[in-house]
Amino acid sequence: MRKLITIIAILFVGSTYGQTAMSRTIEVKDGQMSKFIEMAGKKTKMYNGSDADTQFYTWRILTGPNAGKIWRVEVGESLASFDENPYDSPGGKYWQKNVGPTIKDNNSNRTVIWGRANGASWSPDEPTGDLMRRAIFYTYKSSHEEDFWRYRQRIAKTREAHNDQSLPATSVWWCGSGCDGNTVVVFFSHAGYEDALNDQQKNQALWDKYDEIYGEGSHEQDVNRMIESLEPNSQRTRHLMLIPEASSGN
């Protein structure tokens, strides 16, 4: 049975697979944050524009034990985007020479590869430009993969059917390598903390739509199954803020 459920989950993720990302946490030296942002921004604009194989997005971690550190995320269309040795590339050499001196700890031991689950994600028709992300990390049990992904897929389809363009974009990524257990992160886009609170107050209408599509009481039932699918104490929330001047597309 466990093998069957695992196959179902793999088929779900694989059939809705999107972009690939690689992330790492960076601790900048005291007093060097402005310099780091300046030099990381120059490197990104020179080597990671829209025509490059990968783009970089630089986030300031706002909450949790890593608050104040940087979360640097490289995004590509597939795993093949990361085959090149980054330290041998012109961009990598520029980084080592100009950005490296500002870094206290580049936690390469915590490098993580992520895959975007398109079938569990939703975005409004027009990008909002929101810079804050509320990130909820989950780790689910291998024996309950189907329960976890059922809810994530159904709530995305409900958002699409509900079509409330004021709802935050929701982007779901699953950990392909570098995590302990079956880790997934769900990102919600917000303008700020108050906006995040206001967005959560719209949930009841979304949940009612869920029940309309999947049957009365389905939302509560599916949420409970999703919660039961999680490893103990494995759900945690973090807030991040994009640093546009050190990110691609800016």
Per residue in 57-90, pLDDT (tens digit) is 999 999 999 999 999 999 998 888 888 777 788 9
Contact 170, 206 (CB under 8 A): no
Domain ranges of the chain: 2-246
Task: Indicate the pLDDT class of residue 96, thresholds 50, 70 and 90.
Answer: very high
For the chain, the first-to-last Cα distance in angstroms comes to 48
Span 173-181, average pLDDT: 94
Residue 202 phi, psi (nearest 5): -90, 0
**pTM value surpassing 0.75:** yes
Indicate the CATH number for domain 2-246: 3.30.70.100
Dihedral (C-alpha) 14, 162, 182, 188: value to the nearest 10 degrees? 110
The number of beta carbons lying within 10 Å of the beta carbon of residue 143 is 12
Q: How far is CA 204 from CA 76, 150, 159, 189, in A?
A: 35, 19, 12, 18
- Asked if the model's pLDDT at residue 7 lies above 50, the reply is no
Contact 135, 239 (CB under 8 A): yes
Question: Looking at residue 137, what is its pLDDT?
Answer: 98
Span 94-114, average pLDDT: 88
Question: Looking at residue 234, what is its pLDDT?
Answer: 94
